[in-house]
Structure 1
Amino acid sequence: MSKEWHIPEGFSQVESKLPGVTVFAPVKQVNGSRDKLVTYTCPRCGAVTRYDIAAGGVACEHCGYVHAVQTQVAGKAAEEHEFRVDVMEKANHVQWTAGRKDLVCEQCGAATSVPENAISGTCSFCASNKIHIADLPVEELQPKYIIPFSINQNQLKTIVSNWLGKGWFHPQSLSSSATVNSFRGVYLPFWTFDAEINADWKALVGYERSERYYDAGSKEWKTRTTIDWRWEDGQVNQSFDDILIPGTRKVSQRILEEIQPFDLNALQSFSPDFLAGWQANHFDLSLQEAWDTAKDKMREKNREACYADIPTHHVRNFSMSADFANETWRYIFLPVFLSTYHFEEKKYQVMINGQTGEIAGQKPVEWWKIWAAIAASLSPGFLLLLIGLPLLLAGGIGIVPLILGFVLLVAGIIFSVSLYKKAVESEAE
């Protein structure tokens, strides 16, 4: 007699896209604490409290009360998740947004979680004043770890002033004339990924060989270099640790890249207390999208490692197959200060790493300085070419200035292209 089959505990039947196939999936577990409202008011005087960097806890500015955050430093050994269905379904879907509200920008679409009593009239990402309060998501993936802010507001003015004053091709009055809006500390969402890649490569590899031959024209024996081609293959194994992918598209990816790295050794277990008085951004880049981006980065680095494994730079018909193993991920919050500043009626973005103080952003360029520098770098080469060419035609004595002029011209072109790219990037978003 066959034993009656029952649905496993914790699973329920879900819709199947294959006829005749029944599919069961883990039941979503709702954390029992999601309905618990978290409020941040001082138990002594009733004033609003916020996470204080210097105090290292939730503090009251009125009476000095401090509540230590219950957390522990995990660092790079912080727990990671595997890519399994049950893990994905149960990946801490809790309402960490309790006691907060969402501000949604109508211009850039950024959704920012702020304390319920916060008053904000502008978007932290694009400085637009077209914002509205939206319903909070019923469930939001909770970050497992966080790096708290360690740079305070008093340090920001010095950091941005020094940064605005750097760079010879920027306006000299930039540091003194720029009107910098107040910085907003925002915890931005990031995904981190670990994986191992086992890659097999195959290519046509060329090896140089010198050979002597007889030149019938000059009736002399000479030496020339030839390349012998042969098929070769190999294997490269690489481990990747903490490939960091931003979880939001609402900020400039270029600027965000420039203020990195973050020291992930400072990761701490997440507590909503860290968000008291601070803003936090919801992720808009899904885990799958972030994982696809991370895999592309890993493949490219692995491809470079395969090329480095080849003992010569003569390579043709290169191909590589990569297998991923031991893939894990984390969802974390990292601290970033966002602001904009105005100079000559134009608006520019700026970001500061809330952990290290590294700053990056847009800066206006005085293009006449760029063109003057490019002209100065190209002029010596052109001048020597103009002098050497007539001398060469006249009596064959212009070969030296021609060669020197060509070298200087090439160097000037390389410098000019590099300078132009740097200037364009300085103003780019």
Structure 2
Amino acid sequence: MEDSPVQESLQKKSCVNCGAALTYAPGTTELNCGYCGHTEQITPSEKNLQELALEKYLNEMGSQSHSEEITMLHCKNCGANQHVEENYKSLHCVYCTMPLIIEDAYKEDWILPGAVLPFQIDQKKAHLIFKKWVNGLWFAPNNLKKAAIDPQNTKGLYCPYWTFDAQLAADYTGQRGDYYYVTVSYTNSKGQRSSRRERRTRWSPASGSISGFVDDTLIKASKQKSGIIPKAVALWDLKQLQPFDSSFLAGFVTEKYTIPLKEGHLEANKEARNIATRWACRDIGGDTQRVSSINMRLRDETFKHILLPMFVSTYVFKGKRYNFFVNGQTGALTGERPYSFWKIFFLVLAILIVISIIVYVSKDA
């Protein structure tokens, strides 16, 4: 395990031709200049994905190894912490659109990301996905469709997550259930005798031991009062993770974790217990299983701080804020949508008028 400090600068690279800030081009390994078109290759990292020893960080935060100071803005409305870039285009929170005050920026240490999953689709494509979805919504407010026209409402965000690895071993006790069928006589509703087959379960005691490697248990590392990313869209192929390189962050907002490593580890332990229970059920066999006790042990625990891509679009309707999310890797979209009261009202009114006309014509006939 490499324990020496790692310093990965988050400073932006400038174009050698015009001096403008270079930004990452999603789906490539290039940095592009939006002004003169100059491109630069991102040099592939020769190091492997960094797994950090968990116990050391839980006890001492690694004596600040693998950590770095970054500039942050804290949203007082929803609680999100966002990394400030020199060319920060919009001083508004990505999640809730509340204004962020540049004078409130502060320095803070963070555990340096061990890996990043680069955006695979760009803002233009993400916005087209969102716009197509909005145009297909029934009873959507006109303001929502107008808002979908402006691509600036769709922002790219790197979201922080923890991943945990461990060797898992557990002893369990429970029961194995095997199905069997019996013929049962009964009287039907007509008073006639009949029979049917019913399934029963024969239970027998079971116990044993299971073990295996738990790989990349994914735990969300940030929380907000609003704008929470739904689980339905928070699905990424972690096999495409790249060793951390700040070049992939250029042109995007980066959110800092607000869920501490210790709290994330507790959530990972809950998931590890669920995994152990599934393994125990598989080991018991039969048609169904019951696990009454499980003694789980984890060793050789490691973790990574990783950044995962998401596009966020925010819309306010009648004082309520709605968030829409497009997965920056897969393009999957989800979100809570508002309804237009007047569109629904006039549709119902039109239906009632048509019914009244039909009834009137039928009486005259």
TM-score (normalised: structure 2): 0.74
Tell me, yes or no, if structure 1 residue 311 matches structure 2 residue 296: no
2:27 and 2:118 in contact (8 A); partners too: no
**1:84 Cα deviation after fit:** 4.0
Partner of 1:122: 92
Distance 1:125 1:205 in 2: 48
Larger radius of gyration: 1
Question: C-alpha distance in 2, partners of 1:341/1:335?
Answer: 20
SS in 1 for 2:44: coil
- 2:17 match: secondary structure: coil
What is the identity, as a one-letter code, of the residue corresponding to 1:202? T
Pair 1:197-2:165 in alignment: no
Which of 41, 44, 52 is equivalent to 2:14?
A: 41
Structure 2 partner of 1:82: 53
Q: Secondary structure of 1:137's partner?
A: strand
Percent of counterpart pairs with the same letter? 25
Q: Structure 2: how far apart are the matches of 1:193 and 1:165?
A: 40
1:58 to 19, 26, 31: 31
Distance 1:138 1:121, change over 3 A: closer
Q: Does residue 1:144 correspond to 2:118, yes or no?
A: no
Q: Deviations over 1:377-426 (max 9, x none)?
A: xxxxxxxxxxxxxxxxxxxxxxxxxxxxxxxxxxxxxxxxxxxxxxxxxx
The question of 1:177 aligning with 2:150 is answered: no
State the partner residue of 1:107. Answer: 77
Q: 1:236 aligns with which of 210, 215, 233?
A: 210
Q: Counterpart in 2 of 1:324?
A: 298
**Deviations 1:5-39 (CA, angstroms, capped at 9, x unpaired):** xxxxxxxxxxxxxxxxxxxxxxx9766x58x7835
Q: Does the CA-based 8 Å contact 2:95-2:227 persist in structure 1?
A: no
- What RMSD over aligned residues (CA atoms) do the two structures have, in Å? 3.7
Using the alignment, how far apart are the partners of 1:262 and 1:314 within structure 2? Answer: 31
> Relative to structure 1, is the Cα distance of residues 306 and 165 closer, same or farther in structure 2, using a 3 angstrom cutoff?
farther
The one-letter code sitting in structure 2 at the alignment partner of 1:329 is F
1:15-414 equivalences in 2 (<5 Å) = 38-53=11-26, 56-72=29-45, 78-85=49-56, 88-89=62-63, 91-95=65-69, 97=70, 101-129=71-99, 131-165=101-135, 170-171=138-139, 177=145, 179-180=147-148, 182-204=153-175, 230-250=204-224, 255-308=229-282, 309-313=284-288, 315=290, 318-343=292-317, 346-364=320-338
- In structure 2, do the counterparts of structure 1 residues 115 and 198 end up closer, same or farther at CA, with 3 Å as the change threshold? same
Q: How far off is 1:65 after superposition? A: 2.1
> Does the aligned pair in 1 maintain the 2:78–2:225 contact within 8 Å?
no
SS at match of 2:84: strand
**Counterpart of 1:235 in structure 2: which amino acid?**
S
Distance 1:30 1:203, change over 3 A: closer
Q: Read off the aligned partner of 2:330 and give its amino acid letter.
A: T
**In the aligned structure 2, how far is the partner of 1:346 from the partner of 1:224?**
52
CA drift of 1:228 comes to 6.4
Deviations 1:94-119 (A, max 9, x none): 23x3xxx4222121122211212324
CA distance in 2, matches of 1:90, 1:69: 27
Structure 1 letter corresponding to 2:52: H
Q: Residue type of the partner of 1:311?
A: G
* 1:182-216 deviation digits (Å, cap 9, x = unpaired): 1111111111112232222113556677899xxxx
2:220 partner letter: P
TM-score, length basis structure 1:
0.64
Partner of 2:355: none
> Which structure is richer in relative contact order (CA contacts within 8 A, separation 6 or more)?
2
Q: Is the 8 A contact 1:178 1:342 kept in 2?
A: no
SS in 1 for 2:229: helix
Q: Distance in 1 between matches of 2:134 and 2:214?
A: 36
Distance 1:344 1:178 in 2: 15
